[in-house]
Chains A and B, each alone.
Chain A
């Protein structure tokens, strides 16, 4: 079964509004989670590294004020897309490190965001 859960799996929002995506590690504590964005038929592009209790580290070119990441607990990280625009429509995927399984990274099922 899934060890990393994302919610919602699909969301449609109006341009200019904000939307929050949750990423939960179900049966382990994850001090570090990662957020990726994937456009159709493209690869996964790392957006940011989320560390519990501290500020996220964003990759070059990713707007930290637009993509707000909060990692308030050892099992939950959230990505908030603020003032969403149609070009933000994408597949957002989170992943988490499970350190007691040989540093294996597990991915969530992804969240489809459509901005209309």
Chain B
């Protein structure tokens, strides 16, 4: 049973556009929701993370929107650039030391110039 569902599987956005990736989770015990960016052949790198006490968090061009009642969260990339082309993974876990992240299936983003 997939605990974190991510969509779309792939996304093509023009330079300067907004990229939106959505995730939904099932386990109501999850209270930590990070997004990771991964380039081919590299390990994932933390982009931004949110906890349920806020509905939105913004860091530079990256924004997480969180809807606790719907058990959904999304990543918005504003002013998308070709350098943003990568695979993005949402994840979820309990916010306590020693708890593993459960990942979504990933979204491959291509930003065309």
Binding site for B on A (CB under 8 A): 4, 6, 31-32, 34, 41-46, 49, 51, 91, 93, 95, 97, 99, 103-110, 112
Contact = CB atoms under 8 A, between A and B. Distances in A.
Contact of B105 (A43, A103, A110): A43
Contacts of B98: 31-32, 49, 51, 97
A103 B32 contact: yes
Pairs of residues from A and B, 3 with the lowest C-beta to C-beta distance, nearest first: A107-B43, A32-B98, A110-B43
Given A51-B98, A103-B95, A103-B96, A43 B89 contact: yes
A109 B43 contact: yes
A60 B65 CA distance: 32
Interface string B86-113: 0001000001111011111110100000
B45 interface: yes
Given A97-B97, A99-B97, A107 B104 contact: no
Nearest to A2: B43
B106 A112 contact: no
10 contacts: A6-B43, A32-B97, A42-B105, A42-B106, A44-B44, A46-B100, A93-B43, A103-B32, A104-B46, A105-B46
B32 A110 contact: no
Nearest to A40: B40
A99 B32 CA distance: 14
A4 to B, nearest CB: 8
Given A43-B103, A46-B100, A108 B43 contact: yes
A43 B41 contact: no
Contact of A107 (B45, B97, B106): B45
Contacts of B105: 42-43
Contacts of B95: 103
B61 interface: no
Nearest to A105: B101
Contacts of B103: 43-45
